[in-house]
Amino acid sequence: MGVSVAGGGTLGAPGDRGLAGDGGGELLHVAVVEDHEVTRLGFVQALARDRRLRVVADTPTVRQLLESGAEYEVCLADLVGVGSEAEFGDLVRRTDVVVCTAAEQWRALVAPWVRGARAVHGKRVGPTTLADAVWDARHRPFELKPHLASALADALAECGLSVSPDFAQLLALTARGRRVAAVRQQLAMSEARYLAELERLRTLCAAAGLGDLDFVSLPLASPQPLPVATPAGPEDWAAQVTAAERRTLEYCADGFTDHEIAAETGLSYHTVVTQIRHAMDRFGIQTKHADLRLIFAMYVCSRHSRPEALLRRLKAAGAQSPPPSRP
């Protein structure tokens, strides 16, 4: 396949990889590297839905991306079939990388993170979660996501790696869909301590040989491209709520009470309650029990590694799924 480059203007240099804020109104330029054409098209379509992102290149291999001369800040890449271990290592050194791979064993998720990838996901992740991971790779590069947190927790258990009890708890809670910032607040863990614990874990994993990549023999699941039309998932539910409702639901998914959400966002208590009620009413959910509200918020915000379990609870409460979205 050839190289597809879109857009124009001078792009920002990809060298600044420090912690940053929410990015304001900037547009993030993204490259996609995936050897399967259908899957690559699915990635491009998924990212194109998000107004914060612009895909400026999509290629089947890392080498072709380099030869294209495209300028970008974040690269979404598969792990297998896109190039050699040396080429992948060079890519990670040059830019912020988000890995989305069909390799499902925890070792295949941990290895690219040990080598420097900002986030690692399986290919069953929804478009909204994928777009958020790409954005966060630039603006919140050290914030673990559930897929990777779960894999790291497995690495601790199976390899006997030792971390502090509260950091092990942070991994466990994050693996269940909680945001790192909310878990740190719950555990009274400072950002500096979190970053130090995270770097120590990376060092432990590297010493245990968990950063070794085998691009030939990684066990693969059946390819899971993002098709043009799929059964409605969390991203389709998220498309039915407003940006303001989504922001409130993010806090709800983190376990904040209505009064706490109001204090954090500057909204009135009445506005918070109204936003959540309107969002749930849109799906025909009449019950406003606290547990169901939390399940609804976690599902809409893609905060759980098993969204189908949340969906069963929502449908049992009378929720009606929206039709699947089409690019």
Predicted pLDDT at 14: 32
Could you tell me if 293 and 276 are in contact, meaning their C-beta atoms sit under 8 angstroms apart? yes
- Residue 22: helix, strand or coil by DSSP? coil
Query: What per-residue confidence (pLDDT) applies to 12?
Result: 32
CATH of domain 26-207: 3.40.50.2300
Amino acid identity, position 155: A
Q: What is the pLDDT of residues 165-196, one digit of tens each?
A: 999 999 988 888 788 888 899 899 999 999 99
pLDDT at residue 326, as a whole number: 47
Q: Which fold has domain 234-316?
A: Arc Repressor Mutant, subunit A (1.10.10)
Q: C-alpha angle with apex 242: 236 to 244, nearest 5 degrees? A: 135
What is the structure's pLDDT at 18?
Answer: 35
User: Backbone phi, then psi, for 16, in 5-degree steps?
Assistant: -80, 105
Query: What's the burial of 265, exposed, middle or buried (CB within 10 Å: 0-12/13-18/19+)?
Result: middle
In this prediction, the residues of the chain whose per-residue pLDDT falls under 50 are: 1-24, 216-229, 326-327
| Confidence (pTM) | 0.64
pLDDT digits (tens, 9 = 90+) for 237-269: 888 888 889 889 988 888 888 998 998 888 899
pLDDT for residue 222: 45
Residue identified by tokens 């054409």 is 37
What's the pLDDT at 25?
Answer: 58
Using CA atoms, how far residue 60 sits from 42, 78, 134, in Å, is 13, 9, 18
Distance CA 99, CA 88 (A): 11
At residue 306, the pLDDT reads: 76
User: Looking at 133-189, which runs of residues are DSSP E strands?
Assistant: none
Task: Count other C-beta atoms under 10 Å from residue 305's C-beta.
Answer: 17
pLDDT value, residue 282: 87
Kindly tell me the sign of the dihedral angle through the C-alpha atoms of 109, 111, 114, 116. negative
DSSP state of 257: -
Domain ranges of the chain: 26-207, 234-316
